[in-house]
Amino acid sequence: MQKFNSKAKKATRVSLIEREVNGIPVLMTEFGYKTFTMVVKSLGYLTKKTSPTYFRTSGVMETLYGQPQVSVEYPQPSIKYIIDLYENCPNNGYENLIISPGLEMACYLGRVLNAPILPSQFIASAPDLRFVEERISTDNIYVVGYETDWPDLCVWIKPVNLGHLYAEIINQAKNVIIFGSNQGKGPIHGTSRIYSKGNISINGVDFHAKENSHYRALLDFPEKRGYCKTNDMIPHWEFSMEDEQILLLQKYCHERNINTATIHTGDWSCFIPAVSFAKLYEKNFLRPEGITFHNYWACHPYYEAEFLRIPVYNFQYGADTFLDHFRKWLNTIPFYEKTGEYLTSLGMIQQSISMDTASRFESWGFKTIYQTDRPYDVWQNNWDNFDDLKNPTREWIVPKLKEGSYNRKFKHFLTFEEVVSICQDVNKTDVFVSKS
């Protein structure tokens, strides 16, 4: 695998690690952050392999390995690399395709459609804003802010002309789903857009909500460089697509008679994976065998489908209206047995939603069969050689896959129309369909 030199200024391809652990194939991203992790999850279910969140050797993965620095060429090398990975998959003619930021929900839609996922953005780091300004390309939108995962500025690079970049795969598809966070719904986690000159924007944190945010405030707004402090209340910069990206992608597909569904999710979006998997099982005359609860990218769409789990993602479980609605929905599902898996530490879950999740689901009849004390499903170097097995993939999922040897083959996947219908029925979700 190619190693990344954090001091290099040239673009570097994203690394993919593949290894067997106890005979079970496991895929990992060495660096690349959420957007590439989403692709790795997609490759996992297309090739019947499982995937944890990240790989790291010590501390936080990105701090050690760094990220590709901003350059005019980036992210073109990563796009080619991702297309090559899909081209090497068996049966690489895909009827459906998803383009999305780094969202777990996209992973589950890909699973029920048996479809690959292409990222709508890429991520890089930069030592300062001048470094970004000197290397911008007019083909990209650059959103600059701070992440807690590495000390440099974090840069989300959003290519505008996604249709042409991904032409090799898009041109084979009949349907393209454009999937992202809601636009124009106000700040999430107290974030705000500080507009700038040209195609660079700076993200800061609402200072009144700073203590409740996962992100540090960008304190040194560089007004002298032409930036201003006008707030544009937009969704989280990691999970949103730019209007310009969406419009050009829709146009590209329309000109080639490719159907599109543009889906903007809200804070009830965790219903989408749950309902989609329930529909997948129903369509294949299978009964689900429990739930898998996870938080922050611990999703395992391949594993969960193999073991007939309903994926339960945490966004709104602290809200009574959501809990009541979700419980009523769960009561309509014909579970074969009710078991509960928790791939995120209960301490973290309770801190984020102020409730004992396992007790809540046990009171609903879901007996706990696994829970972890690790905050994330991050793979630590040499966990496959030593006894520290607390990582959920290493401790639980690999043994379960080995024990089950299911290699389940679904005879029927969901259709484009069925996914559109599911999303249309989810509260705070907007769907715009264009048929060829």
pLDDT band at residue 351 under the 50/70/90 scheme: low
Greater pLDDT, 396 or 144: 396
Measured distance CA(310)–CA(293) in Å, rounded: 9
What is the Cα Rg of the chain in Å?
21
Do 289 and 308 touch, CB atoms closer than 8 A?
yes
Greater pLDDT, 112 or 200: 112
The structure's pTM equals 0.86
pLDDT at residue 79, as a whole number: 86
Distances (CA, A) of 258 to 97, 113, 433: 11, 16, 11
What's the pLDDT tens digit per position in 91-102? 778 899 999 998
In sequence order, the β-bridge partners of residue 96 are 175
What's the pLDDT tens digit per position in 31-71? 666 778 889 999 999 999 999 877 665 444 444 445 677 88
Greater pLDDT, 396 or 29: 396
Average pLDDT over every residue of 260-284: 92
Cis peptide before 301 (omega within 30 of 0): no
Highest mean pLDDT among 8-22, 76-90, 380-394, 421-435: 421-435
pLDDT at residue 170, as a whole number: 96
Highest mean pLDDT among 18-27, 304-313, 388-397: 304-313
Reply yes or no on whether the pLDDT at 332 is more than 50.
yes
Do 195 and 187 touch, CB atoms closer than 8 A?
no
For the chain, what is the mean pLDDT?
78
What's the pLDDT tens digit per position in 83-92? 988 988 877 7
Do 291 and 309 touch, CB atoms closer than 8 A?
yes
Query: What residue spans define the domains of the chain?
Result: 16-266+414-434, 271-376+385-404
What's the pLDDT tens digit per position in 116-161? 999 999 888 787 778 888 888 889 988 887 665 566 777 888 999 9
Average pLDDT over every residue of 208-219: 38
pLDDT at residue 204, as a whole number: 55
**Number of DSSP helices (H) and strands (E) in the chain, helices first:** 16, 19
Top-level CATH class of 271-376+385-404?
alpha beta
Do 416 and 261 touch, CB atoms closer than 8 A?
yes
Reply yes or no on whether the pLDDT at 215 is more than 60.
no
DSSP letter at 89 equals S
Measured distance CA(102)–CA(32) in Å, rounded: 11
pLDDT at residue 33, as a whole number: 67
Q: Look up residue 296 and give its two tokens.
A: 């922050």
The tokens 């067997």 sit on which residue? 20
pLDDT at residue 165, as a whole number: 94
Average pLDDT over every residue of 398-415: 87
Burial class (CB in 10 A: 0-12, 13-18, 19+), 254: middle
Average pLDDT over every residue of 179-199: 56
Average pLDDT over every residue of 231-246: 68
Average pLDDT over every residue of 8-20: 59
CA angle 163, 164, 166 (to 5 degrees): 70
pLDDT at residue 46, as a whole number: 94
Closest among 407, 410, 409 to 24, alpha carbons compared: 407
Do 193 and 232 touch, CB atoms closer than 8 A?
yes
DSSP codes of every residue in 311-380:
EEE-SSTT-HHHHHHHHHHHTTS--SS-EEEE-S-HHHHHHHHSS-HHHHHHHTT-EEEEE-SSSS-EEE
Give me the amino acid identity at 7.
K
Closest among 119, 118, 111 to 86, alpha carbons compared: 118
Average pLDDT over every residue of 332-353: 79
Average pLDDT over every residue of 297-320: 82
In this structure, what are the phi and psi dihedrals at residue 296, rounded to the nearest 5 degrees?
55, 70
The helix, strand and coil proportions of the chain, stated in percent and rounded to the nearest 5, come to 35, 20, 45
Identify the weakest region by mean pLDDT among 279-288, 330-339, 376-385, 403-412.
376-385
In this structure, what are the phi and psi dihedrals at residue 312, rounded to the nearest 5 degrees?
-120, 110
pLDDT at residue 14, as a whole number: 58
